[in-house]
Amino acid sequence: MELSLATRAVGEHTVLEVGGEVDVYTAPRLRERLLELIDGGARHVVVDLGRVDFLDSTGLGVLVGALKRLRAAGGSFALVCDKEPLLKIFRITALDQVFPLHPTVDAAIAADSTGAGA
Amino acid sequence: MATVRLSFSPAPVHVRTARLVGVAVARRAGVREDLLDEVRLAIGEACTRAVALHRQYGLHDPVLVEMSDSGQYAVRVVDRAPIEAGIGLAALPPDELANEALTDEALTTGVGFALLAGFVEDLQVRPVDEGVGTEVRMVWPVGR
């Protein structure tokens, strides 16, 4: 399935819903969208991977890039993922220790709001 | 001997095709259904690595994928890049993954190897027998 990207605002958070396949071909579009959001002033970004059915190392690299950029800007970055195959990818690469991972968008926003002391 | 052989010009858009073919042949060969996600990911990572190397070295040669199902499901992904075969498949530690100094390319390469090593029990990365290049060989059991 082709990559789909949809953005919505929830309070001070920007939620990016990603669907389809994130791979070496489509990851540049995800990178562009994340850069647009960050350059446009978004500082608290939640990427919802709920409708992603394939994610490879290139996609993971893009997500780490966004995390670094937002941290450097004093912002926050979290992922929403509750699918076991995807969670396994995060565990195997040890990226589960790098990203805040949450089962739902609400949980991600709640954790970020308390954690950031906002 | 390969039952299915695919060669594609080293462009990212074709990696998805290689994944689809690889999984279709795996299913046909009798690889367990619950392993197919891992087959898909591993073939994708091996092809992504090959495409990245060909682009890095400006090579227009095709990337070769061979799938064979004699007794087990074996997949070879062959690149033609003039480098020593990367045998070191060590995963990057978490504190290094988020390190500012790590480039996107290095991160993606490290993560790609971690996925290959993590998902493929029977994995070999070695120089090709003839000419220049590296082959990534992955084997999965066939459960019929």
Q: pLDDT tens digits for B65-76?
A: 999 998 899 999
Rounded distance between C-alpha atoms, residue B138 and residue B144, angstroms: 19
Give residue B110's pLDDT: 86
pLDDT tens-digit map of B13-53: 999 999 999 999 999 999 999 999 999 999 999 999 999 99
pLDDT tens-digit map of B91-125: 567 677 777 777 877 888 888 988 998 999 999 99
Q: Which residue, among B124, B142, B143, B125, has the nearest Cα to B134 in the 3D structure?
A: B125
If you measure CA to CA, which chain A residue comes closest to B38? A85
Q: Do A60 and B104 touch (CB under 8 A)?
A: no
Arithmetic mean of pLDDT, B54-77:
95
Residue extents of the structural domains in chain A: 4-104
Domain A4-104, architecture per CATH: 2-Layer Sandwich (3.30)
Residue B92 carries which side chain, given as an amino acid letter? Answer: L
If you measure CA to CA, which chain A residue comes closest to B41? A56
CB-CB: which of B37, B52, B98 is closest to A68? B98
Give residue A117's pLDDT: 43
CB A95 within 8 A of CB A55: no
Q: How far is CA B94 from CA A64, A82, A102, B1, in A?
A: 11, 21, 18, 41
Give residue B37's pLDDT: 94
Rounded distance between C-alpha atoms, residue A103 and residue A19, angstroms: 16
CB B108 within 8 A of CB B55: no
Of the ranges A37-46, B4-13, B76-85, which one carries the lowest mean pLDDT score? B76-85
Q: Which residue, among A80, A78, A73, has the nearest Cα to A105 in the 3D structure?
A: A80
**How many domains does the structure of chain B reveal?**
1
Q: Which residue, among B86, B76, B79, has the nearest Cα to B140 in the 3D structure?
A: B76
Q: Which residues of B touch A34 (CB under 8 A)?
A: none
Alpha helices in B93-138 (DSSP H): 94-97, 104-119
Query: What ipTM is given for this predicted complex?
Result: 0.89
State how far residue B100 is from chain A, nearest Cα, in angstroms.
7
For residue A17, give both structure tokens: 């819903």
Domain extent for B104: 4-141
pLDDT of chain A, 118 residues: tens digit per residue: 689 999 999 999 999 999 999 999 999 999 999 999 999 999 999 999 999 999 999 999 999 999 999 999 999 999 999 999 999 999 999 999 999 999 999 999 999 876 554 4
Check which CATH number belongs to the domain holding B73 and give it: 3.30.565.10
Q: Which residues of A touch B111 (CB under 8 A)?
A: 57, 60-61, 93, 95
Residue with tokens 């959001």: A37
Question: Per CB distance under 8 Å, which residues of A are interface residues toward B?
Answer: 21, 23-25, 54, 56-58, 60-62, 64-65, 67-68, 72, 85, 89, 92-95, 97-98
